[in-house]
Amino acid sequence: MEPSIIKLLSENKVIGLRQVNRGIKDNQIRCVVIADDTECNIRLELMKTCRNARIPVTHVPSKEELGKVLGIDVSCSTVGILK
C-alpha cells in the first residue's frame, strides 16, 4: 500500500460501509478509501454515492490489507476520512 494512503488512514476516520454512508449523508466525510475486492455491487453503489457528493475515492488492493493497516483484527471494505 502506498505511503500516502497509509498516512491518510492515520487521520480521524470512520470504518465500515454503514458508518461511511452515514458520514457522507451527514457531510462529515472528505475522502473514501475502498478495497478493490469489495463485492462489486457494494463498491459501485458507494462510488456512485461518492461521485454524487463530490467526494474523492481512493482504492486499495484488498479488504484484508486495509484491516491490517487500520490495526483491526478483521478485514475492512471501506473507510471514510473525516473533515
Task: Look up the CATH number of the domain holding residue 73.
Answer: 3.30.1330.30
The pTM of the full predicted model, rounded to 2 decimals, is 0.91
3-state helix, strand, coil in the chain (%, to 5): 45, 25, 30
Q: How confident is the prediction along the chain (83 residues), in pLDDT tens digits per residue? A: 778 787 888 889 999 999 999 999 999 999 999 999 999 999 999 999 999 999 999 999 999 999 999 999 999 999 999 99
DSSP state of 83: -
DSSP-derived secondary structure for 61-82: S-HHHHHHHHT-SS--SEEEEE
Domain that holds residue 39: 3-82
Number of domains in the chain: 1
Sign of dihedral through CA atoms 31, 34, 40, 41? negative
The set of residues, in sequence order, having a beta carbon less than 8 Å from that of 54 and lying 6+ positions away, is: none
